[in-house]
Amino acid sequence: MSDPASRRRERMRIVKDRMADMGYDHIPENEEAAVDVTNHSGPGKPSPFSTVDDGHFSLFKKTADFRGSTVGGGFRGGLTWDFCVDTPPGHGPKLDLVTALRTEEESDQDTSDSMDSEADHDVDKRHQFETEGHNKIFSRGFHDNLPIEISNYNVIKEYEDEREEEQQTIDKEDISKDSLSDGRGSNLVTEESYSRTLAGIDFLKDDPKTMTRVRRIGLYLAKWSFYNPAVFKEQMEKQKTKLFKDKSKPISKKTFDESARSQASFKRQSCTNSIVMQDKPSLEKAWAYFEHVTLPRYHYEEKKDKNVRKSVYKRFINKWKKGNKQFQMAEPGENQIPTRLYSWFWTPLKQMGDFGLGVGLYFSTLRALTVITIIAGIINIPNALYFAGQDYSDGQEGVHPFQKGSAICTRTEWVPCEDCTIDKFAGHRIATLVNDTSLTYALRNDCEGTTMLQGFINFSSLMFVVVGIYIMNHYQKLMAIKFDEDEQTAQDYSIVVENPPPDATDPEEWRTFFRECFEGARLTCCTVALDNDILVQCLVNRRVCFHRLQMMLDPGSPLDAKSLERYAKTANNKRGMFMRFFAIFSPGIPELVHRINRLTFKIQRLAQFVDPYRVTRVFLTFETEEDQRRVLSALSVGSYQASSNTKRGVPPSRGVPKDHLFRGIYVLEVNEPDEPSTIRWADLNARAWQRRKVVFLTTLATFCTIVLGAFVVNFINSIGQSFTAIAISAGNLIFPIFAKFLTTLESHPDAGSVQTSLYCKIALFRWVNTAIVITIITPFTSTLEADTGVIPSIFKIFVADIVMTNCIQIADPIGHLQKHIVAPWAKTQDAMNLAMSGTDYELAERYTNMTKLLFLAFWFNALYPGAFFICGLGFIFIFIADRFSLTRSWARTPKLGTSIADASRKYFFAIAQVAMGVVSWYYWAGFPFDNLCIIPDDDEFLDNSSEDNLAEMENVTLKTHSGQVEIVPISLGNTYKYCQQEMFRNPGNRFPAIPSSQPDGANWMTEDQEFITKVFGWTSVAVLGYIFLKFVWLLLLKIKSIFASDYEARGDVQGINYSDIEAVSAYIPQVNTRVFAYPLIATDTKSFDPELFDWADADRSHDYYDLTLDAEEILQNIHVTATNMFSKVAHWDPDEQFSHADTISDM
């Protein structure tokens, strides 16, 4: 962009000329003085700040925003003049008066500085064109600020073309190419896009080839009235009336006043106590918001040969070569540098860290687990072939093709068992003769599954999984470092003081402390967070009530206190009995007005009677990574030491200098914070004991829900086993909603802590609901059955979780309902943008989907070797579906850190390994899962009459306890008795499941089975011991961190200054709501550079979202200032600090 001072001087020349032509006696030297002169000139004087508007053609457009209801009637900021040509005129030209002003940061600079010779030359050129155009255009003058008609459009167009060409020439000479660099030495903007970058990219003119299909479809349907109600309204308005039908007819005073008031209401939208603003919503803008704000984009360098067609093979090779290309994620709404959507298929895995370390580690974990499970499945192929062969179960005839190769046993026989009872077997596995009930028969599994080879193959897969996960954990640590180095963020330069003195509210004090204690350290940003949660929440609720109230009132309705009371009284008088009852659930105008008054009163009381707010956190951002690491290394101490906040808390062995004590007495607890977008400012100041109490209660509720879910699944299973898998999948989908509700009751300082808590709840429920409940509700003797066993159940769960869940996710029905139904009917642009904000997702839920499949495969791998392949295939589907949703449909979320990945690595994967070893051990010990043991020949079990009866029968008619009657052959060889083969329910020795733990006189294990059980058993005990020692080590490290520092730098210093980061952001207190498309700001926005925000509203300034302006408006009647009621954000120029440091060193 051109020099701001030159642009202001240029604008001021035009204003001076116009004021001279209009007969002003005093011609001011700057814009502020010009505003003051025109404000006091009286109603008869014309204004030099009129807008010339020819349909969509604007020559001089002067705009600005009010910063709320300003005290004293003054403006904050200055004036800006925009020169633009949008489209040729379609109707007669006309003039409108725009009464609102737009604040611009450059107006804070001094406009009376002297110009250098080159700037004088450039401005003189522009002035030549402006004067010529001014004399041609404004030949008829103004009268009482009423719009006039312009007669010669061609003159205006010719003048504007010449002026635009001259301005682009001058701008290109003023701007250096270095300003378009990404800070790493590469230019992001080519010459072809240079001029477009200067003016800003128009999102409404995106190339359709770069749009998503859903946007192209939406824009096509937006032309039809059945889809877009705005089209129908426009058609109705055209039929009713047409303004300015006669080009020669002057505009009436009434029409002009209405137009001015309408435009004023559009501009004065940051003031909650002015008038109702309802801008005309645009679907085109909403779809642009969806692609440029909701969806993630990266900086794109335009190709020189973009028009050259390439073959599919060359395009594929080029895409493959870009696997190592470095992408730079663009900020939401970036309009200065060309951007493109991330490809859901071609985006390299290493670039997934652009979405946050948590997301990058999630996809790298998915890839690693895919490799591990597929290799484990390959190892178990011999077991699958054995189970599907003739030796095990006669080829498993009648078994589902995807379940063949499992331990399903179809070779069974009925054998006599006199001591077998119904309570020990499933109803369809025990029967009696139709005519003789004296002897009981039981169904025996004649499948030998525990051979030496099969046991050792499964044991090998266990060892591979243990080693593979160990390697994956180290791989994840390396990937975390790689992702962190690849994407420079504010976290890499920042520290957070967890225990600041309650009265340390001055950012300059913190700046002085670090500058004096650490020579050369440059502090760029400082955020002092106050314990003002209640005040901020009241202001947020008040703003939300105002927004909802505006949706119910007509445009142009005043919002002062008296008008609000009148609206409430009128609406209440019109209500009937039904509407009064309905208002209990859906508040109307009277309820909203009452809430606003109540919140206003509460805010005033908080300002008058509450003690000064204490400081709870201080976020400090340094200019370099070296300074941040130097400070962390020097000041990091144990939490116990820091809690004392005295000199005695510093151990002499650390050798901490006395000047590192804040104010000479305070020991600071310093840590590296999470990303700015993850900080939950509304919950940042909750007490530790309050957090623990609520977490305990929500955890208790989670356990109760798990137990209730198990009873529900068991009840449904008793009705019909075919519905069990559906009930389990439904529970897995419904419980996350309840878990999110529980988590909202908790207070967490950052989004990473929220996601970790949510992850633990959902993972615990899904593990129990998916694997453990299936094992418990399935009768032990039905484990290997083809219809009612565990294998069909877990296969249905796999299908439901892999196919159905991912298909619904990709289809995104809720998201399309929001975009295509809710958005077109929205009354305001804000509501329309909110409908385009994407589908909410939780990273914790994505992790639980992954660990649920892994846990299911680990739990049943001994019985279902193919579960490894199904699990690996499921990971591939999840990988593709999640990448697609992340880049095409999901809403933006905070850039989470490594908290969930660390919890998975340290705890959940360890528990899954233990489950795999121990459960496989018990499954190998439980073969053949029929609870029958052979009676030795010397055991007197059957009487002679029974033996004689058996000798005479080969095929008998049996009636099972479930009511089935069938003619079946029976075994005439051996006789059997009941024996408890489920070792876990053995009333004697339940652990360990070794051959010696078999009940006396009930030996069912073969020699191979006994050997395998011993090897598996003691190995599982070793794995269990290893995991236990690992947990003990983690506990010891946690205890050590209480008494000593555990800080360890991660990765290498990249050598990039904080101010040189392209997508820079800072720790700015903000609160997200479901009413506004952007967060509300809980600090004064004038104290720092707006570039520190990681978002920007294309239609409004950040002042509109500034809650401090609301507080000033509320408190001005009680003569109380809001200066010390909000958190403070300070920003210093690093170059000035560097110059100051050099001056001090020279002295």
- Asked whether the predicted pLDDT for residue 183 surpasses 90, the reply is no
* pLDDT band at residue 740 using 50, 70 and 90 as cut-offs: very high
Phi, psi (rounded to 5 degrees) for 771: -100, -50
Question: Which residues contact residue 181 at a Cβ distance below 8 angstroms, ignoring those fewer than 6 apart?
Answer: 187, 188
Whole-number Å distance between alpha carbons of 1085 and 1068: 9
Q: Given the structure tokens 């009705």, which residue do they identify?
A: 719
DSSP string, 411-477: -EEEEE-TT--GGGS-GGGEEEESS--SSEEEEEE------HHHHHHHHHHHHHHHHHHHHHHHHHH
CA distances (Å), origin 671, targets 154, 360, 491, 1081: 65, 23, 11, 25
* pLDDT band at residue 361 using 50, 70 and 90 as cut-offs: very high
Which of 281, 282, 276 has its CA nearest to residue 261? 276
Q: pLDDT tens for residues 302-332?
A: 765 555 565 655 655 665 555 566 788 888 8
- Asked whether the predicted pLDDT for residue 963 surpasses 70, the reply is no
Average pLDDT over residues 958-985: 72
Q: pLDDT tens for residues 468-487?
A: 999 999 988 888 888 888 88
Q: pLDDT tens for residues 339-356?
A: 999 988 888 888 888 898
* pLDDT band at residue 215 using 50, 70 and 90 as cut-offs: very high
pLDDT for 642: 67
- Asked whether the predicted pLDDT for residue 193 surpasses 70, the reply is no
Phi, psi (rounded to 5 degrees) for 63: -135, 160
- Asked whether the predicted pLDDT for residue 1067 surpasses 90, the reply is yes
- Poorest-confidence range of 33-37, 317-321, 631-635, 1031-1035? 33-37
Q: pLDDT tens for residues 492-542?
A: 999 999 889 999 999 999 999 998 888 888 999 999 999 999 999 999 999
pLDDT for 460: 92
Average pLDDT over residues 190-204: 53
- Bridge-based pairing state of the strands 932-934 and 976-978: antiparallel
Angle at 264 between CA 261 and CA 269, to 5 degrees: 130
Cβ distance 916 to 858 under 8 Å? yes
Which of 371, 333, 329, 330 has its CA nearest to residue 350? 329
* pLDDT band at residue 714 using 50, 70 and 90 as cut-offs: confident
Whole-number Å distance between alpha carbons of 566 and 572: 10
Average pLDDT over residues 168-197: 38
Of 989 and 1092, more confident: 1092
Q: pLDDT tens for residues 17-66?
A: 666 666 665 566 655 555 555 544 544 445 554 433 333 333 333 333 33
- Asked whether the predicted pLDDT for residue 730 surpasses 90, the reply is no
* pLDDT band at residue 829 using 50, 70 and 90 as cut-offs: confident
Percentage of residues in the chain having pLDDT higher than 90: 24
* pLDDT band at residue 703 using 50, 70 and 90 as cut-offs: very high
Return mean pLDDT, the chain.
75
Q: pLDDT tens for residues 97-108?
A: 333 323 333 333
- Poorest-confidence range of 92-96, 441-445, 594-598? 92-96
pLDDT for 211: 92
pLDDT for 6: 55
Q: Please state the pTM of the whole predicted model.
A: 0.75
Whole-number Å distance between alpha carbons of 568 and 579: 14
* pLDDT band at residue 76 using 50, 70 and 90 as cut-offs: very low
Average pLDDT over residues 1121-1145: 70
CA distances (Å), origin 919, targets 449, 602, 1017: 16, 59, 10
Q: pLDDT tens for residues 376-396?
A: 999 999 999 999 988 888 888
pLDDT for 440: 80
- Asked whether the predicted pLDDT for residue 1135 surpasses 90, the reply is no
- CA 782 from chain centre, in angstroms, equals 44
Average pLDDT over residues 879-900: 92
Percentage of residues in the chain having pLDDT higher than 70: 70
